[in-house]
Structure 1
Amino acid sequence: MVVGEIVQDKDLIVIGGGPGGYSAAIRAAQIGLDTVLIEKENMGGVCLNEGCIPSKVFTHSASTFSITKSVSQFGIQTGEVTFELERMHEWKDKVVSGLKGGVEALCKANKIEVIKGEASFLSDDRIGVESGHQFDTYRFKQAIIATGSTLIHPKHIAIDHERILDTRSIFKINTVPEHLVVLGSDYISLEAAFGYMQLGASVSIILDEETDGFGFDLSIEKELQRVLKKRKIRVYKKSRVTQVTEIEKGVKIEIESQKGKEELTCSHFFAASKQEPNTADLGLDRAGVTLSPDGYIDVNQFAQTNVASIYAVGDVTPGPALAVKALKQGKVAAENCSGHLATFDLHFIPRVAHTNPPIASVGLTEAEAVTAGYDVKVSEFAAAGNGFASILGEKEGKTKIVVDQNTDMLLGFHTIGQGAVELISHGVTALEMVARDEDLSYPFYPHPSLNENWLEAVEGIKGRAIHMAPEKKKPVTNASK
């Protein structure tokens, strides 16, 4: 290794080229900071190269295949429809390559110096970058840590990425499983289950011993469970996987539940992975940056660590490991580095599953609102009552709104059904604006459109929804007089 003798001075150094890192670097360059971005692998990070984008290519392809098989109801005759995973992977690679090239071009256009190498702190104002046999030293005024996270697998499950799969490899296999068993309750588990079911696989889901659902509002959960049953996806609730063993041409899974011990055999097994922040090799102690007991870098609302000149964003900070969080934090950190006051708040991050039908949620569930002490009023509108859903032939699902009955303030918005991913943005904005039901019922909503689910659910709060049957009044009895 050759150690550089010259220390280079920079306004800002960003470590990590994922969503949080590249958005921070671009925003800083827009403001006028001399910015260096250091990435040891691929620009775009895990999200673009292995996570968000590849998985959504898969879910969109699977959903399109499923929809195409039923387009005859619209008068479209296609003949036999087939699916080729290999062609889908080629499209995925093309999408990823194009987006990665776009990020690189944006960095170049914003005059950001991009260095491929591994960075670590030498002090609270210096970073060393190792690239092959070269080692360079940079002195910075400000630094942003955006190094992401690493997948952690259950210790008793040996992932081989062929038949026993993790969060990355589940969307890379070249054959549709005959029978896929999914261990997990997160959005990736649901996307894998729905996606491969649509491609023809038999699918089962195992929920861990403390879980009997997927963490959504109870009404959405019931609808999801109904859809899973209709799709013939079996769900094993409150179960513990004790052993996973490869057998000839398959996998054997041993589980324990309240019903006792049970064995499952399948062609492929997927275990959802947890995320561990990438902080171990950064030399944070030399910079004086402290970690929480579970290894995360604690930050304030400005994305600032305990060292005033050093910021952290994305998966290395507490909160959900989502690109949407990293993107926001990256821009906030860059703006604060340049003296422009900016803050972030994690309360209203939407939770989304690109299943078929898709699911989206933001704010408090009904149960959470009750626990928080609100006097809760809810309204639910079934997708079957929406005219555009009928046009699409996608009438499954429902939309639910949770409000505080005393103030009419929106507390939560939850939906399952076509258009859910797009509808959720309206919910995020409404919650951020502290909207009341009259704020949401006053505007015009395009007709026909799935947006009208919002209007019907909101007007249903006070029993004024046009396309919703009135609630049945309970009969008056002597006991209730």
Structure 2
Amino acid sequence: MAAKSFDLIVIGAGPGGYVAAIRAAQLGMKVVIVEREHLGGICLNWGCIPTKAMLRSSEVFHLMHRAKEFGLKADGIGYDLDAVVKRSRKVAGQLSGGIGHLMKKNKVTVFMGEATIPAKGKVSVKADKGGEELTAKNIVLATGARARELPGLEADGKLVWTYKHALQPAHMPKKLLVIGSGAIGIEFASFYNTLGADTTVVEVMDRVLPVEDAEISAFAKKSFEKQGMKIMQKAMVKKLDRKGDTVTAHIDVGGKVETMDFDTVISAVGIVGNVEGLGLEELGVKIDRTHVITDEYCRTGVDGLYAIGDIAGAPWLAHKASHEGVMVADLIAGKHAHPVKPESIAGCTYCHPQVASVGYTEAKAKELGYEIKVGRFPFIGNGKAIALGEENGLIKTIFDAKTGELLGAHMIGAEVTELIQGYVVGRQLETTEEDLMNTVFPHPTLSEMMHESVLDAYDRVIHM
């Protein structure tokens, strides 16, 4: 079989791979993308997008119960879990189809199948109906990651679920255990708790949402507990005994093991990179704990081979993968490429209340030796938040006391996943506290709290 020649081969069509392919095509390259399962990858089919669709359903359900507060009447409030899931799958399907259209529009060749790299610049694709041999000077690895499974806590789809099972539940959990309180764990805990599941979250670290600022984590814990969740911190699930329709969890809390019964367990204990079966070790690619080691430009050290997105390490976020995809395409085309700075990438968690952050936490800024100024503003002091009935929240900003540089911003409350972008742009433009103070924020908006938080850091807050 004669090998087909391209300028660039992309392995994996998630938010890193398909974006790299589009940008490379825009730059005049002949591009092929190889995907073994779904265009759009995990994010679009089994991650970011369908979870947000489901969380929107639970948010509307929550608001329906508050109808009376807003002078409205809603009787006989209920939900149809199958219909909620169906809507979520439809949203994912619509977007996945959209990726196929984008590939056609940008003249990117798509091969569905398993890829291996037998030698530098060569890719073999194994598909149900035969295969393909491809060659290109440059190859981008964008194979993503999958759920980490801990020994004894493996998913079975019936009693113990991964995120995939939780997105297509076989039943509505009555008593739910969520292992891990990162973004994935806490979003599912939020969804099922809102729909009425008696929810317990176990976190091995000393706080929920452990990558967030400690103050935000504490605020989140209080909010979750108010909603009826049980939060166990500095705790570890040692083993799960499965019998009939019950899982007995053995939970170690400070050296003392407690047993608790559940009908459903969701395991959200991190991810592992999809590095197997590609032939990477034989090529000389360095792998550390299932992630490919790269430089700041996503180069693997093997000539013409790049790795982007989850396979290339933290932060494991779709928008980081997409940005890396564009950067690598620009780099291959000989254009000026800007490396991705991890501390300039915002993290968003769509639990209730929402959580969003960018830059350094207060503890990290101090650890790095900065002298800092910290500002805070609560949602209760904002007219729009009160009008929305969303007084529960906080915005926190951290500045370098010497230069006025915005070091970090941390938020919890309604719509903060949209608000955070203001601070992201500010950091990208290397804004100072003075720039932010002199910016006129529109009224009445939630964004005014961003202004007030900055003012508070410099003892100039108005509405508090």
* TM-score category (smaller protein): over 0.9
How many angstroms does 1:78 deviate by?
2.6
- 1:73-472 mapped onto 2 (5 Å cutoff): 73-208=69-204, 210-215=205-210, 216-258=212-254, 260-286=256-282, 288-343=283-338, 344-468=340-464
Larger mean CA deviation between 293-302 and 370-379 belongs to 293-302
What is the alpha-carbon distance in structure 2 between the residues aligned to residue 395 and residue 17 of structure 1? Answer: 41
For residue 297 of structure 2, what is the amino acid of its counterpart? F
Aligned-pair distance for 1:284?
Answer: 2.2
AA paired with 1:383?
A: F
Equivalent-residue separation in structure 2 for 1:165 and 1:285 (angstroms): 32
Is the 2:207–2:218 Cα contact (8 Å) retained in structure 1?
no
Greater shift after overlay, 346-355 or 70-79?
Answer: 70-79
How much has 1:293 moved relative to structure 2? 3.1
Q: CA deviation at 1:438?
A: 1.1
Aligned to 2:292, the other structure's residue is in SS state coil
SS of alignment partner, residue 137 of structure 1: strand
Give the TM-score taking structure 1 as reference length.
0.93
Counterpart CA distance in 1 for 2:176 and 2:329 is 43
**CA distance in 2 between partners of 1:263 and 1:252 (Å):** 6
Pairwise CA distance, 1:12: 1.0
For the residues of structure 2 that align with 1:169 and 1:147, how far apart are their CA atoms? 21
Structure 1's 437 and 248: CA in aligned 2 closer, same or farther, altered over 3 A?
same
Say which is worse superposed, 458-467 or 342-351, in terms of deviation.
Answer: 342-351
Aligned-partner SS, 1:79: coil
Name the SS for the 1:58 alignment partner. helix
Query: CA offsets, 1:237-262, max 9 Å, x none?
Result: 21222221123332111112227221
Q: Mind listing any 5+ residue stretches in structure 2 that lack a counterpart?
A: none
Asked if 2 retains the 8 angstrom alpha-carbon contact of 1:86 and 1:174, the reply is no
Give the TM-score normalised by structure 2.
Answer: 0.96
What is the distance in 1 between the residues matched to 2:7 and 2:255? 62
Instruction: Answer whether contact 1:128 1:137 (CA < 8 A) is retained.
Output: yes
Paired positions, count: 462
Matched letter for residue 170 of structure 1: A
Distance 1:257 1:38, change over 3 A: same
Q: Which residue of 2 aligns with 1:479?
A: none
Which digits, 9 at most, give the CA deviation of each residue in 1:223-246, with x for residues without a partner? 112212211211112122222112
C-alpha distance in 1 between matches for 2:150 and 2:118: 34
* 302-311 vs 199-208, which moves further: 302-311
Structure 1 SS opposite 2:19: helix
What is the aligned partner in structure 2 of residue 477 from structure 1? none
Provide closer, same or farther for how the CA distance between residues 157 and 109 of structure 1 changes in structure 2, counting only shifts above 3 A: same
**2:30 aligned with 1:8:** no
Deviation at 1:125, TM superposition (A): 1.9
CA RMSD for the aligned pairs? 1.5
Q: Secondary structure in 1 aligned to 2:158?
A: coil
In 1: Cα distance, 2:16 partner to 2:192 partner: 30
Shift of 1:320: 2.1
User: Which structure is larger by alpha-carbon Rg, 1 or 2?
Assistant: 1
CA distance in 1, matches of 2:69, 2:235: 41
CA distance in 1 between partners of 2:113 and 2:172 (Å): 37
Identical counterparts, % of pairs: 32
CA distance in 2, matches of 1:230, 1:133: 55
Deviation per CA, 1:142-178: give whole Å up to 9, x if none: 1111111122211121311122112221222143311
Deviation of residue 7 (structure 1)? 2.0
CA contact (8 A) 1:151 1:275 kept: yes
Aligned mates of 1:248, 1:134 — CA distance in 2: 43
Tell me how far apart the structure 2 counterparts of residues 279 and 174 of structure 1 sit (CA, whole Å).
30
In structure 2, the residue corresponding to 1:281 is in which secondary structure?
Answer: coil
| In 2: Cα distance, 1:438 partner to 1:94 partner | 46
After TM superposition, give the deviation of residue 133 of structure 1 in Å. Answer: 5.0
Q: Matches of 2:218 and 2:143 in 1, distance apart?
A: 38
The aligned amino acid for 1:436 is: T
Amino acid at match of 2:301: N
1:399 shift after superposition: 0.5
